[in-house]
Amino acid sequence: MTWVASAVDSRYGVENLPYGVFSTPNDSAARLGVRIGDEVLDLRRVAESGQCATCPTCSALRAPTLNAFMARGREVWSTVRGQVQSVLTDPGMEPHIRPMMTPLAKVTMHAPFLVADYVDFYSSEHHATNLGRMFRPDSEALLPNWKHLPVGYHGRAGTVVPSGTPIVRPQGQRRTPDGEIVFGPSARLDIEAEVGFVVGVPTVLGHPAGVDEFREHVFGAVLVNDWSARDIQAWEYVPLGPFLGKSFATSVSQWVTPLDALDDAEITAPVQDPEVLPYLIEKDRYGYDLRLSVKWNGTEVSRPPFADMYWTPAQQLAHMTVNGAGLRTGDLYASGTVSGPAAHQRGSFIELTWGGKEPVTLGDGATRTFLEDGDTVELNATAMGTEGRMIGLGEVVGTVHSH
């Protein structure tokens, strides 16, 4: 039980404790914080209050991004998390800790970590099947490689932005239905609701990370909105994949949820058939039962279930490195659009509106197929934390601005 009143019935209780980077009106330096209830605990001040100014962990906690702390490894992550939980539940610590806390409403949030490489997967069978049906109606919905490997590609790390960053509608080339090549603002601006995993501990080039080493390397999870301009993407993507249809912006939550907070959200992942190659076989195969929510101008239009994902984050990590590609601290890899089997579980608007043919109606009676200027999309997720208390994953919000 924590002494922080706003945390008692919150999805940001002591079971959660995500990490972020913030500043305050009185101190504009970006620094690490932990969210507890509706407040932020200043980790730089916690580190400075100790007697260990020179130890690497305290140095990492005084840095302006999470990267140095994430590089320290699981033992340090667990120790620090345990210490934070301890001071937030010991009433005797309140007089010491209270001055290091600031209400969320008074802080400015920043990008939580410096993104090294950004990889986007395509690991929901329902999503891949939906897109296959729409784009290749006369063929098998899933391509032949899809059940043998987690299909993925590299995105643009430099345009990963924190929640709240305005999304400028991209311009680009597209081909009209009668074959004309035109230029202008995207007319089919979409979202992809995804879950991302952040690498803490790097590898050496040439040495793959094994499928059972996921917890050694991955620090935590974020929510991701992989904004997508479907018209730009459709024209450009053959044969080398998506490029400008995705690279204008990818939003991530301001808070990184540590894997330790998701232990009780682990759930057996779907059985894979055909059997995968040995490097993708997990001793303990699990996914995470994260329940996503997609709000469009305030109306919840979808509840994608992450528990259904065919490929797990451990398999994605193993696949991404099996060729010897090195990991760096700050590498971000996202799941691909999370879609469930039901219509109201689809994580992109192209699926929800079936290619723009079936508009959705929002709470104010307005109808939509793709995003209009001024529209706001908000992603949230909940998961089971310890002691039967639900935790929340930080929201991802973005508003579309005209070019």
Nearest by Cα to 312 from 338, 337, 286: 286
Q: Does residue 246 have a known ligand-binding role?
A: yes
Residue 141 touches a second copy, criterion: CB under 8 A: no
Site for a second copy in 157-196 (CB under 8 A): 157-159, 161, 165, 168, 170-173, 175, 181, 183
**Lookup: tokens for 299:** 């109306």
- Tell me phi and psi for residue 55, to 5 degrees: -75, 150
Contact 281, 148 (CB under 8 A): no
Which positions are annotated as active-site residues? 127
Q: Does residue 264 have a known ligand-binding role?
A: no
Using CA atoms, how far apart are residues 6 and 16, in angstroms rounded to an integer?
14
Q: Where are the alpha helices (DSSP H) in 141-297?
A: 214-217, 230-236
Residue 232 touches a second copy, criterion: CB under 8 A: yes
Residue 354 touches a second copy, criterion: CB under 8 A: no
Q: Does residue 295 have a known ligand-binding role?
A: no
Q: Does residue 266 have a known ligand-binding role?
A: no
Q: Where are the alpha helices (DSSP H) in 224-292?
A: 230-236
* Contact track, a second copy, 238-277, x by CB under 8 A: xxxxxxxx-xxx---------------------------x
Stretch that binds a second copy, among 3-11, 91-99, 200-208, 261-269 (CB under 8 A): 200-208
Q: Which of 117, 260, 289, 375 binds a second copy (CB under 8 A)?
A: 117
The phi-psi region of residue 184 (left if phi > 0; otherwise alpha if psi is between -120 and 50; otherwise beta) is: left
Contact 14, 39 (CB under 8 A): no
Using CA atoms, how far apart are residues 215 and 229, in angstroms rounded to an integer?
34
* Contact track, a second copy, 277-306, x by CB under 8 A: xxx---------------------------
Q: Where are the alpha helices (DSSP H) in 99-213?
A: 125-135
Residue 154 touches a second copy, criterion: CB under 8 A: yes
Interacting residue ranges for a second copy, rule: CB under 8 A: 116-117, 119, 122, 143-145, 148-149, 151-159, 161, 165, 168, 170-173, 175, 181, 183, 205-206, 208, 229, 232, 235-245, 247-249, 277-279, 319-320, 322-328, 331, 403
